[in-house]
Structure 1
Amino acid sequence: MPSVVTRAAEGMQGRGSGQVGDAPDDPGRAAPRLFDLVSRRLAEDSSITGDVADTVLEALGAPPDSSGAPPTCTGIFIRAIRVRGFRGIGPEAVLELPPGPGLTLVVGRNGSGKSSFAEAAELALTGHNRRWSGRSSVWREGWRNLHDGGESHIELELTATGSAGLLTVTRQWPDGADLADGAWTMRRDGSLPADFAAQDWAPALELYRPFLSYSELGALVDGRPSDLFDALHRLLGLDDLTAAQERTRTRRLELERAARQCKDQRQVLLADLESIADERAVRVAGLLREAQPDLPEIGRELAGARHDPAGAAALQAIMRLRLPDAAEVDAAAGVLDDRLAALARHSTGDTEAELRVLDLLRRARAHTHAGGEVSCPLCGQGTLDQRWQRDADAQIARLTERAAALTAAHDELDEALRRVRELVRPVPSELDPSALDGSGVDTGPARWTWSVWAAAGGEACPPDAPCAGTPRGDRLRGAHADALRCLTVLQRSARKELDRLDAAWTPLMPRIAAWMQDASGVAAAEPELRTVKRAEEWLKSAAAGLRDERMTPLADHARRIWRGLRQQSNVDLGVVRLQGTAGATRKVLLDVTVDDAGATALGVMSQGELHALGLALFLPRATVPESPFGFVVIDDPVQAMDPAKVDGLAQVLAAVARSGRQVVVFTHDERLAEAVRRLRLGATVLDVQRRERSVVEVRVGQDPVRRYLDDANALLRTRQLPKAIATELVVTCCRSAVEAAALARARAQLLADGVDHREVQRRVDAARTTREKVSLAVFGEPNLVDDLNDLLDRDAPWAKSVLGDVAAGAHIRIGRSGGELLSGTRKLIAWLNR
């Protein structure tokens, strides 16, 4: 059941109506749902596009699905209130109520315990009592009854339509427990008790609050201006409108905040990118400066399509430069030294002259082969004989061997030089300083030493040329060592520069990636932002009109009730408007007129009129069709009301009851019950009486005249009561019956004659004695007692005798028995009502 009540409250989209009109049985009608009003307005506004309309309706929330609510959510009536040990009630007392539509008056003098029933019912459902709100702790601490201070409990029996049946809500406190403690349970008919889910009932109890105490009546009007505004705002579903505005505003702020943060982050990134000498940063910064940055291109930069900037590439190229290993250079230098030494050994003397001699000897020897001894072909004088030939052959052999050794030494040196040239590379282009402009890396030393190393390779000597210029191993080793040292220094500087570039660039990469993701989201949300802004603007412009539309039925209902309550008041209630907005300065404007002149409610209304106005504002809220509660409980609404308004109150309450509500009114003022009887409105009257030690009894109330006569008859039938005491008590009951009959006759006759209610009450208050009250009933004036005696002497001497006995019997002994007096009293009352 609690979840059903919650659904009824949460499903309320602002539907309010009146239940009481000028005609007693005017049921009122429900106002259109807020969702329907907004949908209609959106459809009528040609400037609103479909996406804006959808955004507005989505912010407002889907319309309530009443078909999904179980039938147990409606028609909740009070069947009985059982109380023990709470406030003015000691031993358990039961207030049984007709569980359905109708008016029930619970009457009793002050202190009888009647209000304890009302407070108990409110506490059982809501967990607190508005009458105690804002009061000192004494009010809350005195909740236990003084005469039955042990275990306390409240049991509220409810009935609901549908399958819910009987529901019993129980609050039970063991001895010594605080008010906030104890057990709070609910039991369905035929089931075991379960914890009462107060949080499920709370929304409906707050929205359609069915309880109203006397202290709340005035507070509805002259309390905090915002309280009534908030109550009406919630009831009309305008909180849903405010929530819709807040949702669109919140979404707009979210989107704008995201766009603003994205823009701010872009500026921070630009500043950081511009602070580093990195072409990657330069390229990305250039892209970010564009009005609409090219996000795919930025993504490609981050993905590595153009990952390394030119400076970084040159530095990376320097890092890849390599020189031969020192051991390899040393080995090549050693071989070179050996080949140079070998060549030096084989190059002693005039090598060119020896080669020419060898050539001449070979030719001369070839000449001698032509035949025998021959003359020298050069000088013609000497003879190239056999001895010369032998000497020539020996010398040719010697010179040939020496030439072969020299040639071999040259070949070996050429091979050594080839190996050196394989080790030595020309100065690489990577050492070109122009590639590293602005990087702070100096390639000069490395470039110069590399050029020395490159020159150390030299050129191979021709076989017949001196090798004085051939590079030696120590020169090769020294050049290599210098080049290696400078290259190492250069590469160390390049590594530091690369690290510096990466130290600045690398942290920027995830930031740029995150910004790109945010920027993509912002770009994708731009259409939504435009739509949300338009939706918010529409809701703001439409809010006032929608509020007036929603308020009109409720205000009309309140005015109808006020017309029923005002009863001759010259104060008329006009437009009821909500001013301000939820969460800000807000109040309910009550336009009243006094004799057709405008005024403010608080300035011109009496306390009774303010209470009546409070009731006029309460009943429409409590009786809207959507409320799951079929009952309203009102405690002491009659106080401070003048007699005319009591009649109006009786008529209004009866009309509410006829419209299908269970109206339970607690009052100590007999005027309301008297008005109900006189106006024949039909009501159940329950009389609450409190005996000694907080024993509270409830019985069905009767016409006071009949009740007093029945009490007198009961006293006469009580055998245990001494006769003298019984007679005295019977006389008192008979006098009360005559006075009640006289006042009832007087009120009815005077009002029927058109006498103003206030004047009727003045005359009733002026009638202090029994004879004055009978005079008021007979002549309409209380001060015509002599005329009354003359009338009785002339027309009904017996009536004068009975009147004299009931008026003075409590003070002097009368000459008739109690039974005779009771019979005469009945006859006198019948004569008064003729």
Structure 2
Amino acid sequence: MPDPTLFGLVARQLADHPPKEADAAELVFAAFEGSDTLTAVLSGATASAATKPRTTAPTLAGTFLTSIEVEGFRGIGPPVTLKLPPGPGLTLVVGRNGSGKSSLAEALEMLLTGANQRWVGRPRVWVEGWRNLHQQPPKITASFGVEGRPSTLKVTRTWPDAADVSGSVLTIDGKKTTLAEKGWDEALRRYPPLLSHNELGRILEGKPTDLYDALASILGLADIAAAEGLLRNARLAAERQVKDQQAAATRLTAALQTVDDERAHAVRIALSGKTWDLAAVEKVVAGGLAAVEEHTALRTLRELSTLPVIDRAQVREVTARLREVNDELGRIGGSDAAAARDTAVLLEQALKVHAPHEGLDCPVCGTAGVLTYEWRVQANQRITELRAQASSVDEVHRRAAEIAAQARRLIGSPPPVFGDAPLVGVDVAAADAQWRRWTSPPVGDDPLAFATHLDTVAPDLIAATAAVRSAANAELERREDRWRPMQQQLSAWLPDARAAETQRAQLPRLKAAEAWLKDAHESLRNQRFQPIAGEVQRNWEELRQSSSVQLGDLRLEGTGSSNLRRLTLDVSIDGENGSALGVMSQGELNCLALSLFLPRASMPESPFRFLVIDDPVQAMDPVKVEGLARVLNRVARERQVLVFTHDDRLPDAVRRLEMSATIIEVFRREGSVVELVPVLDPVTRYIDDAMAVAQSKHLPDEARRVVPGFCRNALEAACAEAVTRRMFRDGSTQSEIETVLKEPTKLTTWLALALFNDSTRAGDVMQWLSERMPDAVTVVRLANRGSHDKISGDMVSLVRAAEKLGKRIRETHGASSN
């Protein structure tokens, strides 16, 4: 899922300044949601990314560290548990080099990432010592307080015997799983809460693109580059597909020009426009004859190849019936029935003459006035009688007429297609001649002559028609042989062509979406980076202290796909512009690296409410250590900050600045036994040590002598604390404070500096004490003698008096002298 904050910026900018092409905005949204969504939107397979209900990645609950338990890993042998107060606050874990403190930090890094920055770019030998020789097998467990969860979340990483460092098993609450299932893998990548000693040194040592990429990742800026890349790739793919299919269409068109076929011609026309008429091409390829115009050579050939052939069996049947009826007519030709029929016919003809001309003379003999009405009645009566006698002859003549009509129906007109046959190279002259013979039967009603005509001409006509059909089929097959390969090529090309046309239609939207995002890239990046840039400036101002290097604007330049992408740092040295990395000391570079890391790890979107920093004090001068303490204290108001350090200056600065912090000291004993001891302030620690010895029974005199030494250390620490606080409140710099703290050489000069703000007044100390704190005189005298003389008396009372004096000095003389 895209970074929610960045996605909101994109949505607002799209609303205020939409792309030029309609619906291009939905492609921008889809590109941020990923390749699958963009593909689905482009294909129309899903609802618009801009209008469909949006889903966002579930928000991970805020998480604090409550404990880290380590055994068998690096410098830690038997199990040791670092318990931490959950919630915001500052915890310092202090120890000498080799005490095991960094092993704790690296164990947490190994637990959460499965790797260690300490080993990056190092020879194999650096990795091989990851198992502790005194304890096997390794096991790392961290407990986390999760907001909204009543019980702690326990994450454990273990290694089977002889397993390589990469062969670990991760469990969460006892269930074998991965951090990805918890949803932490992406959060760890975007908002890494761990800063190792090695990574701190490398933050600014890598290529310019490395720091850009690190910041881009947590700000979600990689999502811009990824979305821009998806749109660019989609546009290039569309252009490539259109170009490829256009080239294929050009090759097909050239090949079609060599094919003498109406279908080829129709496809060439369909492909000749700026956009292809793929529907027409598909119709031609799939539709056969119906796909081309009505009057074409193909249709002519198809008609010639399917010419109707005279039914030889029907001809034989008709000619047989004609001969049969001819024989019957011959048999009845001289019979009485025939005569009666002829007479009836003659009378019927006479009646036709009489009907309009009643009373005329007889047309045969000329007798006047004989064709009267009475004659007509008599004639009709006679016709009826004659027809009855001639009925059998009538039936024969009726059948003869019926058979003759059936025979004439066999004789149709010559096929009209014969007129177009020469245009397609088919010779129909012989067939046409036979059709003319066939359509010229004998005149009259002689059945025998008709039968002879059919019998004679039909075989020749059938043979001529078959020859025409054969020639037409041969020509069709020749044309099909030439068309079929083109048809196959077109069939194979059509799916790609349709996809290319779809892509062609999408290109304006893709170009508009890509152009919009390219133009908006810098604005979106600057809006997203602005909060971090401000925090970096704030951190640097606190960390740099007396540094002459002033940090100006921070800018992310270039894009995620550019080799010129980088974080640009504008700096000035004593008012003169300069190059940041070229003029800064190592301590200043570390301060700058911390300034960049802290805002990055403290993003509001991060579920990790804890930060773990290993040895950040390296190469820092005292004033920058104080600045570091201030920065860590400020961050710790909202985050749980855990710092591992070997440098006592950081806890000293925390105490001096009266900051609330948990301080834990790490000690490593024989056999890789690591102990964690809560650290009190130096004054209290020395007093506790003195009291522990003083309260011991049967203590030898030699051992009793250390009690005044502890008391002296406690009083000197109280004086140093009081002087530091007073000078700090008066506005002195850390270097000035350190210079003054180098002046005292013995307890009375320390007391003079604390009491009078003047180390040279050591001679006035005892008088001041005797007037105001008489019990303290003995304490100071004994503390000065220390272990050089035998000590007698009540040691516990001595320690109580030292504690009282130390408290008086810290509370009364740490105030400002103004």
Q: Matched residues in 2 for 1:65 and 1:606: separation?
A: 53
1:323–1:56 CA distance, 2 compared to 1 (3 A): closer
Displacement of 1:584: 2.1
Aligned twin of 1:92:
79
Aligned twin of 2:651:
673
Displacement of 1:70: 7.0
1:126–1:485 CA distance, 2 compared to 1 (3 A): closer
Q: Matched residues in 2 for 1:168 and 1:40: separation?
A: 41
Q: Secondary structure at the match of 1:771?
A: coil
Whether the aligned pair in 2 keeps the contact of 1:453 and 1:479 (CA below 8 Å) is no
Query: Of the two, which has the highest radius of gyration?
Result: 1
Displacement of 1:140: 1.8
1:172–1:40 CA distance, 2 compared to 1 (3 A): closer
Aligned twin of 1:401:
none
Whether the aligned pair in 1 keeps the contact of 2:304 and 2:417 (CA below 8 Å) is yes
Aligned twin of 2:362:
none
Q: Matched residues in 2 for 1:457 and 1:590: separation?
A: 105
Bigger CA drift: 284-293 or 732-741?
732-741
Which is bigger in relative contact order (C-alpha 8 A, separation at least 6)? 1
Displacement of 1:663: 0.9
Aligned twin of 2:790:
815
- Does residue 531 of structure 2 align to residue 549 of structure 1? no
Whether the aligned pair in 2 keeps the contact of 1:574 and 1:591 (CA below 8 Å) is yes
Q: Matched residues in 2 for 1:185 and 1:90: separation?
A: 21
Q: Secondary structure at the match of 1:620?
A: helix
Displacement of 1:582: 0.8
Which deviations, in whole Å up to 9, do the C-alpha atoms of 1:148-198 show, x marking residues without a partner? 2x22211101101113631011112233222222321111xxxx5442434
Q: Matched residues in 1 for 2:706 and 2:464: separation?
A: 138
Displacement of 1:555: 0.6
Q: Matched residues in 1 for 2:495 and 2:56: separation?
A: 46
Whether the aligned pair in 2 keeps the contact of 1:248 and 1:536 (CA below 8 Å) is yes
Displacement of 1:562: 1.1
Aligned twin of 1:632:
611
Displacement of 1:771: 2.8
Q: Secondary structure at the match of 1:619?
A: helix
Whether the aligned pair in 1 keeps the contact of 2:189 and 2:217 (CA below 8 Å) is no
Q: Matched residues in 1 for 2:543 and 2:54: separation?
A: 35
Displacement of 1:275: 1.6
1:458–1:827 CA distance, 2 compared to 1 (3 A): closer
Aligned twin of 2:594:
615
1:598–1:164 CA distance, 2 compared to 1 (3 A): farther
Task: Return the letter of the residue paired with 1:552.
Answer: Q
Alignment of 1:229-240 (within 5 A): 229-240=212-223
Q: How many residues align?
A: 692
Match of 2:703 among 706, 721, 726: 726
- Does residue 290 of structure 2 align to residue 305 of structure 1? yes
| Aligned alpha-carbon RMSD (Å) | 4.7
Displacement of 1:826: 5.4
Q: Matched residues in 2 for 1:738 and 1:174: separation?
A: 53
Bigger CA drift: 290-299 or 276-285?
290-299
Match of 1:221 among 204, 214, 226: 204
Q: Matched residues in 2 for 1:292 and 1:168: separation?
A: 64
Displacement of 1:729: 5.6
Alignment of 1:16-27 (within 5 A): none
Q: Secondary structure at the match of 1:577?
A: strand
- Does residue 131 of structure 2 align to residue 140 of structure 1? no
Aligned twin of 2:518:
540
Bigger CA drift: 263-272 or 560-569?
263-272
Aligned twin of 2:678:
700
Q: Secondary structure at the match of 1:507?
A: helix
Whether the aligned pair in 2 keeps the contact of 1:746 and 1:777 (CA below 8 Å) is no
Q: Matched residues in 1 for 2:686 and 2:237: separation?
A: 75
1:774–1:612 CA distance, 2 compared to 1 (3 A): farther
Displacement of 1:65: 11
Bigger CA drift: 557-566 or 541-550?
541-550
Bigger CA drift: 239-248 or 489-498?
489-498
Q: Secondary structure at the match of 2:547?
A: coil
Task: Return the letter of the residue paired with 1:617.
Answer: L
Bigger CA drift: 74-83 or 791-800?
791-800
Displacement of 1:640: 0.8
1:427–1:763 CA distance, 2 compared to 1 (3 A): same
Whether the aligned pair in 2 keeps the contact of 1:157 and 1:166 (CA below 8 Å) is yes
Which deviations, in whole Å up to 9, do the C-alpha atoms of 1:363-386 show, x marking residues without a partner? xxxxxxxxxxxxxxxxxxxxxxxx
Alignment of 1:483-562 (within 5 A): 490=471, 493-494=474-475, 496-508=477-489, 510-511=491-492, 513-514=494-495, 517-518=498-499, 521=502, 526=505, 528-562=506-540
Bigger CA drift: 101-110 or 492-501?
492-501
- Does residue 771 of structure 2 align to residue 771 of structure 1? no
- Consecutive unaligned residues of structure 2, counting only runs of 5 or more, are 34-48, 317-406, 445-451, 770-776, 814-818
Displacement of 1:616: 0.9
- Consecutive unaligned residues of structure 1, counting only runs of 5 or more, are 1-9, 15-33, 331-419, 463-469
Q: Matched residues in 1 for 2:471 and 2:661: separation?
A: 110
Displacement of 1:256: 3.2
Whether the aligned pair in 2 keeps the contact of 1:106 and 1:688 (CA below 8 Å) is yes
Which deviations, in whole Å up to 9, do the C-alpha atoms of 1:328-385 show, x marking residues without a partner? 999xxxxxxxxxxxxxxxxxxxxxxxxxxxxxxxxxxxxxxxxxxxxxxxxxxxxxxx
1:56–1:424 CA distance, 2 compared to 1 (3 A): closer
1:59–1:317 CA distance, 2 compared to 1 (3 A): closer
Alignment of 1:206-355 (within 5 A): 206-301=189-284, 302-303=286-287, 304-307=289-292, 310-320=296-306
Q: Secondary structure at the match of 1:584?
A: coil
Whether the aligned pair in 2 keeps the contact of 1:792 and 1:799 (CA below 8 Å) is no
Q: TM-score, normalised by structure 1?
A: 0.71
Q: TM-score, normalised by structure 2?
A: 0.72
Q: Secondary structure at the match of 2:4?
A: coil
Alignment of 1:406-445 (within 5 A): 435=421, 443=427
Aligned twin of 1:155:
141
Determine what percentage of the aligned residue pairs are the same residue: 38
Which deviations, in whole Å up to 9, do the C-alpha atoms of 1:98-150 show, x marking residues without a partner? 111111111111111111111112221222222222222222221111222x2
Displacement of 1:691: 1.3
Displacement of 1:693: 1.1
Displacement of 1:665: 0.9
Q: Secondary structure at the match of 1:687?
A: strand
Q: Secondary structure at the match of 1:627?
A: coil
- Does residue 168 of structure 2 align to residue 182 of structure 1? yes
1:816–1:40 CA distance, 2 compared to 1 (3 A): same
- Does residue 67 of structure 2 align to residue 80 of structure 1? yes
Task: Return the letter of the residue paired with 2:4.
Answer: Q
Q: Matched residues in 1 for 2:214 and 2:443: separation?
A: 114
Displacement of 1:318: 4.7
Aligned twin of 1:28:
none
Q: Secondary structure at the match of 1:159?
A: strand
Which deviations, in whole Å up to 9, do the C-alpha atoms of 1:215-255 show, x marking residues without a partner? 22232223232222112212222223223323333343344
Whether the aligned pair in 2 keeps the contact of 1:421 and 1:457 (CA below 8 Å) is no
Aligned twin of 2:399:
none
Whether the aligned pair in 1 keeps the contact of 2:259 and 2:482 (CA below 8 Å) is yes
Displacement of 1:86: 1.1
Aligned twin of 1:195:
177
Q: Secondary structure at the match of 2:96?
A: coil
1:43–1:513 CA distance, 2 compared to 1 (3 A): closer
Displacement of 1:636: 0.7
Alignment of 1:381-392 (within 5 A): none
Whether the aligned pair in 2 keeps the contact of 1:42 and 1:48 (CA below 8 Å) is no
Q: Matched residues in 2 for 1:215 and 1:480: separation?
A: 104
Alignment of 1:357-376 (within 5 A): none
Q: Matched residues in 1 for 2:682 and 2:561: separation?
A: 52
Bigger CA drift: 588-597 or 213-222?
213-222
Displacement of 1:575: 0.8
Q: Matched residues in 1 for 2:418 and 2:18: separation?
A: 73
Q: Matched residues in 1 for 2:793 and 2:178: separation?
A: 56
1:262–1:594 CA distance, 2 compared to 1 (3 A): same
Whether the aligned pair in 2 keeps the contact of 1:147 and 1:693 (CA below 8 Å) is yes
